[in-house]
């Protein structure tokens, strides 16, 4: 990425070029977006001589073409597909451009959140729902919120990056027309060059200076999909080769001249300060340069990361006690006591007469539980920063560039614009890199070590201890069945609030009910005449945050397990009943597809069983069938089939990898992961306590992508929620045992 070469690159080049910065798009729905940000193309300020930028995503200098990835790459492949969407329209080939992650700017606001933030279920395409989404889009535009998450990269960029590429292409053609005197209509482009009628070629980089002097061509439309060379076809992710060769530099791999290494020990009672510490032993340890007190703990500065970690481990700290219950059992007690009106989040949906429905027919009720879970991407939290009198510069992989600025600035009394942020390739996130534990302490440390670049690396143990977990949740679901039909379903859950927690820590608190607690609870698309979905929000428990698929990771398990219980009580086949009850034709197709893929024919017998689950999350309907065998060594997962409708499969190979990975994530954590508190700290501090899936448990996972949805959807998270209920339902089919609480291995053995 080349960001490390010059610490003060931005300082040197600001103001050195005032080129065609402000560009508005033409006819697309993103035209207004570009118009709003027209005067603030963040690339304009950093251009070198004779370079041009057409919009916030394309920069061409006489030396090279740079395409900007606005969404952070946390392993989901968007560091590849974003530039590919631009390159498709620009007639660029892989290898002809560099990729750079976007800095913080409202020009990169995430339009992909419009659907998720609007208060309508995804399948509702009514004028009222669409109007609400349009209003949400305007809100997002105004706030300029730049964030990677919510499986929104493709919904956000699918159109706007192709338009950005088309603007660049047409403007380069116009520059060539001006130089050659040949009409634009006779000029074409291919492989990074403008081609004139006589076959002569002009490289894009050779047109940069001239393109900077003309008005950009805005009246463009993205090409018809039938002409695509790369998008929608099996293609090679641009980061695969450098990752396999060991050449790609993650944030943790960066190095700077004069750099010192830091490690920290922070209060494991999350959010609480340190009372006192004794570092007498650590002070004399090899490599130790300095010991610093920071707001909620201590840091050691040393000559390498390992010395820093060893020394910080030797410091004895006295911590302020937790603000939440110190012991796990009391967390559950608080949850159990929170199904009360004063803790009501919201009654999200009510259909028919739920009270009458519950009295009609055979009652069914069940309680389900989901524990706190950690994110723990394999690259631990880290970062490099330097603070000088001018401000702070930080290199770190993060999903919220503007929040990195504000959190770091607030920690050390700077203004957000004094913080320069360089995003990095990240070794996973799953929601972890939306939080700020490393940002805040790195700012504090670098501020105390002014002038010295500081590299902070969390030990795995510290990362576990500071991991703000997935919400903990209990559901108490009631329903009734009569004459082979589900008559009523009353879904009630109590949880900690993940999104509200994140917003609060970001400095933008919300008083609204946490909409993520509706995910998987209210967006149920079965024809149930009496239905209600209600969330309660428990107070005073562990801080919680977004964990891959967020609310649906717990509520999807509860809902689809309970639906399975109702279907069983009604004497129906789990697959046929779901297909027959499904009210959305495209979603029904998803279920029919997974039934066909798995050749679903009812019970298997002989200790084998299949379970199905269907969850729509982030607008993406996903159905999964899990097949298990009850062996004498425990449950063995034999095979998984997945059907998922994203409207358009943009990057097919990566799509399959993402879906398989989502299934592995969902199954692995459901089987064996939980975080439990004792004395205010989590008891699980490395992977042997919180293992998730290893290869020996991994089944064959067959994936099919459908393209029937009217909108283009994301796929990073939606394969997660159906995995746990499909597995639990399969275990029931194989053994007759209902498992209503994660992790499942507390109740049944696995091979």
Partner 1 sequence: MIELTVNGTKHQVDVVPEMPLLWVLRDELGVTSPKYGCGVAQCGACTVQIDGAAVRSCQSRIGDVAGKSVTTIEGLRDRDQHPVLQAWIEHQVPQCGYCQTGQIMQAISLLELIPKPTDEEINVVMSGNLCRCGTYPRIRAAIHAAAAKMGAK
Can you list the alpha helix ranges (DSSP code H) found in 144-255?
153-180, 208-211, 240-244
| Contacts with 198 (C-beta within 8 Å, 6 or more apart), sequence order | none
Query: Which of these ranges, 9-17, 19-27, 349-357, 687-695, lies near partner 1 under the rule CB under 8 A?
Result: 687-695
Options 601, 679, 694, 746; binder of partner 1; rule CB under 8 A: 694
Do residues 170 and 217 lie in contact, with contact meaning Cβ atoms separated by under 8 Å? yes
Q: Length of the chain, please?
A: 751
Here the tokens at position 612 are 């199905």
Helix/strand/coil percent split, the chain, to 5: 35, 25, 40
Q: Of 488 and 664, which CB lies nearer to partner 1 in the complex structure? A: 664
Q: Of 635 and 663, which CB lies nearer to partner 1 in the complex structure? A: 663
Q: Does 306 participate in binding partner 1 (rule CB under 8 A)?
A: yes
Q: Does 380 participate in binding partner 1 (rule CB under 8 A)?
A: yes
SS3 state at 624: strand
Q: Does 627 participate in binding partner 1 (rule CB under 8 A)?
A: no
Query: Which of these ranges, 4-12, 241-249, 416-424, 594-602, lies near partner 1 under the rule CB under 8 A?
Result: 241-249
What pairs with residue 474 in β-bridges? Answer: 369, 494
Do residues 561 and 721 lie in contact, with contact meaning Cβ atoms separated by under 8 Å? no
Options 42, 56, 75, 361; binder of partner 1; rule CB under 8 A: 75
Terminal CA-to-CA distance of the chain, rounded, Å?
44
CA dist., res. 8 & res. 10, Å (int): 5
* Minimum distance, C-beta of residue 550 to partner 1, in the bound complex (Å): 17
Options 428, 580, 629, 738; binder of partner 1; rule CB under 8 A: 428
Q: Of 368 and 395, which CB lies nearer to partner 1 in the complex structure? A: 395
Query: Which of these ranges, 239-247, 349-357, 435-443, 602-610, lies near partner 1 under the rule CB under 8 A?
Result: 239-247
Q: Does 261 participate in binding partner 1 (rule CB under 8 A)?
A: yes
CA dist., res. 202 & res. 474, Å (int): 64
Options 64, 178, 188, 460; binder of partner 1; rule CB under 8 A: 460
Q: Does 696 participate in binding partner 1 (rule CB under 8 A)?
A: yes
Q: Of 236 and 329, which CB lies nearer to partner 1 in the complex structure? A: 236
Q: Does 427 participate in binding partner 1 (rule CB under 8 A)?
A: yes
Q: Does 453 participate in binding partner 1 (rule CB under 8 A)?
A: no
Here the tokens at position 141 are 């535009």
CA dist., res. 669 & res. 648, Å (int): 29
- Mask for 531-560, x = binds partner 1 (CB under 8 A): ------------------------------
CA dist., res. 428 & res. 74, Å (int): 5
* Minimum distance, C-beta of residue 629 to partner 1, in the bound complex (Å): 15
Q: Does 415 participate in binding partner 1 (rule CB under 8 A)?
A: no
Nearest Cα to Cα of residue 465 among 542, 408, 548: 542
Alpha-carbon separation of residue 643 from 252, 703, 719, 722 (angstroms): 36, 6, 9, 11
Residue 73: exposure state from Cβ atoms within 10 A (0-12, 13-18, ≥19): buried
Q: Of 430 and 587, which CB lies nearer to partner 1 in the complex structure? A: 430
Query: Which of these ranges, 120-128, 324-332, 577-585, 664-672, lies near partner 1 under the rule CB under 8 A?
Result: 664-672
Q: Does 622 participate in binding partner 1 (rule CB under 8 A)?
A: no
> Which strands make up the sheet holding 98-101, listed edge to edge?
52-55, 58-60, 65-69, 98-101
Options 145, 154, 663, 715; binder of partner 1; rule CB under 8 A: 663
* Minimum distance, C-beta of residue 302 to partner 1, in the bound complex (Å): 10
Q: Does 373 participate in binding partner 1 (rule CB under 8 A)?
A: no
* Minimum distance, C-beta of residue 427 to partner 1, in the bound complex (Å): 3
Q: Of 458 and 557, which CB lies nearer to partner 1 in the complex structure? A: 458
Do residues 418 and 390 lie in contact, with contact meaning Cβ atoms separated by under 8 Å? yes
Options 675, 701, 726, 730; binder of partner 1; rule CB under 8 A: 701
Q: Does 688 participate in binding partner 1 (rule CB under 8 A)?
A: yes
SS3 state at 747: coil
Nearest Cα to Cα of residue 502 among 404, 435, 442: 435
Alpha-carbon separation of residue 427 from 1, 51, 454, 698 (angstroms): 16, 33, 20, 21
Residue 706: exposure state from Cβ atoms within 10 A (0-12, 13-18, ≥19): middle
Q: Does 383 participate in binding partner 1 (rule CB under 8 A)?
A: no
Q: Of 389 and 632, which CB lies nearer to partner 1 in the complex structure? A: 632
Options 11, 18, 236, 337; binder of partner 1; rule CB under 8 A: 236
Q: Does 698 participate in binding partner 1 (rule CB under 8 A)?
A: yes
Residue with tokens 């110190």: 326
Options 249, 289, 350, 711; binder of partner 1; rule CB under 8 A: 249
Interhelix angle 652-672/723-735, rounded to 10 degrees, is 60
Residues in region 267-296 near partner 1 by CB under 8 A: 286-287
Options 687, 706, 735, 747; binder of partner 1; rule CB under 8 A: 687
Angle, CA of 416, 419 and 421, to the nearest 5°: 120
- Mask for 719-738, x = binds partner 1 (CB under 8 A): --------------------
Q: How many residues bind partner 1 (CB under 8 A)?
A: 64
Q: Does 658 participate in binding partner 1 (rule CB under 8 A)?
A: yes
Q: Of 74 and 541, which CB lies nearer to partner 1 in the complex structure? A: 74
Q: Does 379 participate in binding partner 1 (rule CB under 8 A)?
A: yes
Angle, CA of 376, 381 and 384, to the nearest 5°: 165
Q: Does 661 participate in binding partner 1 (rule CB under 8 A)?
A: yes
Q: Does 245 participate in binding partner 1 (rule CB under 8 A)?
A: yes
Do residues 321 and 272 lie in contact, with contact meaning Cβ atoms separated by under 8 Å? yes
Residues in region 486-515 near partner 1 by CB under 8 A: none
Do residues 621 and 587 lie in contact, with contact meaning Cβ atoms separated by under 8 Å? yes
Q: Does 376 participate in binding partner 1 (rule CB under 8 A)?
A: yes
CA dist., res. 182 & res. 191, Å (int): 20
Strand pairing class (316-319; 530-537) = unpaired
Q: Does 692 participate in binding partner 1 (rule CB under 8 A)?
A: yes
352: preceding bond cis by omega (within 30 degrees): no
Q: Does 229 participate in binding partner 1 (rule CB under 8 A)?
A: no
* Minimum distance, C-beta of residue 73 to partner 1, in the bound complex (Å): 8
CA dist., res. 370 & res. 135, Å (int): 35
Q: Of 78 and 475, which CB lies nearer to partner 1 in the complex structure? A: 78
Q: Of 306 and 747, which CB lies nearer to partner 1 in the complex structure? A: 306
* Minimum distance, C-beta of residue 451 to partner 1, in the bound complex (Å): 21
| Contacts with 241 (C-beta within 8 Å, 6 or more apart), sequence order | none
Instruction: Spell out where 236-273 has E strands.
Output: 260-266
Residues that bind partner 1 (CB under 8 A): 74-77, 236-237, 239-241, 243-250, 252-253, 255, 261, 286-287, 304-307, 309, 376-380, 426-428, 430, 457, 459-461, 653-654, 657-658, 660-665, 668, 686-688, 691-696, 698, 700-701
């Amino acid at each position: 990425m080349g960001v490390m070469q010059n610490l003060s690159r931005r300082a040197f080049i600001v103001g050195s070029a005032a080129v065609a910065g402000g560009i508005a798009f033409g006819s697309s729905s993103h035209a207004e977006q570009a118009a709003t940000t027209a005067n603030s193309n963040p690339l304009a300020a950093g251009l070198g001589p004779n370079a041009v930028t057409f919009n916030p995503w394309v920069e061409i200098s006489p030396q090279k073409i740079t395409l900007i990835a606005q969404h952070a790459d946390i392993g989901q492949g968007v560091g590849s597909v974003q530039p590919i969407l631009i390159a498709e329209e620009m007639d660029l080939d892989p290898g002809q451009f560099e990729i750079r992650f976007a800095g913080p700017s409202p020009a990169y606001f995430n339009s992909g959140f419009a659907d998720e933030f609007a208060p309508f279920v995804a399948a509702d395409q009514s004028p009222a729902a669409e109007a609400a989404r349009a209003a949400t889009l305007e809100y997002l535009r105004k706030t300029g919120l730049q964030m990677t998450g919510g499986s929104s990269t493709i919904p956000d960029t699918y159109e706007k990056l192709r338009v950005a590429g088309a603007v660049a292409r047409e403007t380069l053609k116009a520059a060539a027309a001006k130089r050659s005197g040949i009409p634009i209509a006779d000029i074409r482009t291919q492989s990074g060059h403008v081609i004139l009628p006589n076959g002569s070629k002009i490289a894009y980089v050779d047109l940069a200076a001239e393109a900077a002097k003309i008005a950009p061509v805005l009246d463009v439309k993205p090409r018809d999909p039938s002409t695509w060379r790369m998008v929608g076809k099996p293609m090679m992710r641009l980061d695969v080769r450098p990752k396999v060769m060991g050449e790609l530099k993650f944030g943790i791999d960066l190095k700077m001249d004069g750099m010192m290494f830091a490690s920290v020990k922070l209060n494991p009672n999350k959010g609480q300060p340190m009372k006192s510490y004794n570092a007498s032993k650590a002070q004399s340890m090899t490599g130790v340069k300095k010991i610093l007190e920071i707001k909620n703990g201590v840091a050691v500065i040393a000559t390498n990361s390992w010395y820093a970690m060893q020394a910080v481990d030797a410091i004895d700290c006295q911590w302020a006690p937790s603000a939440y219950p110190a012991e796990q059992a009391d967390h559950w007690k608080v949850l159990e006591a929170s199904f009360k009106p004063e803790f009501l989040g919201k009654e999200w949906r009510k259909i028919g007469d739920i009270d009458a429905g519950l009295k009609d027919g055979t009652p069914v009720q069940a309680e389900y539980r989901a524990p706190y879970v950690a994110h723990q991407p394999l690259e631990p939290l880290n970062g490099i920063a330097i603070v000088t009198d001018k401000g702070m510069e930080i290199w770190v992989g993060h999903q919220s560039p503007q929040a990195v600025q504000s959190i770091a600035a607030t920690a050390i009394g700077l203004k957000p614009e004094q913080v320069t942020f360089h995003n990095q390739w990240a070794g996973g996130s799953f929601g972890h890199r939306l939080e700020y534990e490393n940002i805040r302490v790195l700012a504090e440390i670098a501020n105390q070590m002014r002038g010295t670049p500081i590299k902070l690396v969390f030990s795995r143990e510290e990362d576990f201890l500071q991991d703000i977990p997935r919400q903990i949740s209990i559901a108490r679901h009631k329903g009734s069945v009569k004459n082979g039909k589900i008559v009523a379903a009353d879904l009630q859950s109590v949880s900690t609030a993940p999104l509200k927690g994140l917003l609060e820590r970001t400095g933008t608190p919300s008083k609204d009910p946490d909409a993520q607690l509706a995910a998987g609870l209210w967006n149920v698309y079965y024809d149930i005449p009496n239905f209600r979905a209600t969330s309660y929000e428990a107070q005073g428990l562990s801080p919680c945050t977004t964990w891959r698929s967020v609310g649906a990771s717990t509520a999807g398990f509860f809902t689809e397990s309970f639906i399975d219980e109702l279907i069983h009580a009604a004497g129906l086949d789990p697959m046929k009943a779901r297909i027959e009850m499904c009210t959305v034709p495209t979603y029904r197709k998803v279920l029919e597809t997974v039934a066909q893929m798995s050749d679903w024919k009812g019970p298997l017998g002989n200790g084998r069983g299949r379970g199905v689950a269907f969850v729509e999350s982030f607008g993406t309907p996903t159905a999964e069938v899990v097949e298990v065998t009850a062996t004498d060594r425990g449950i063995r997962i034999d095979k998984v089939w997945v059907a998922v409708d994203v409207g358009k499969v943009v990057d097919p190979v990566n799509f399959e990898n993402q879906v398989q990975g989502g299934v592995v994530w969902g199954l692995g954590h459901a089987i064996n992961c939980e975080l439990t508190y004792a004395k205010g700290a989590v008891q699980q501090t490395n992977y042997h306590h919180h293992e998730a899936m290893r290869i020996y448990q991994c089944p064959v996972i067959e994936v099919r992508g459908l393209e029937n949805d009217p909108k283009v959807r994301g796929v990073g998270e939606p394969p997660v929620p159906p995995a746990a209920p499909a597995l639990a339902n399969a275990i029931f089919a194989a053994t007759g045992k209902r498992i209503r609480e994660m992790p499942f291995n507390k109740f049944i053995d696995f091979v």
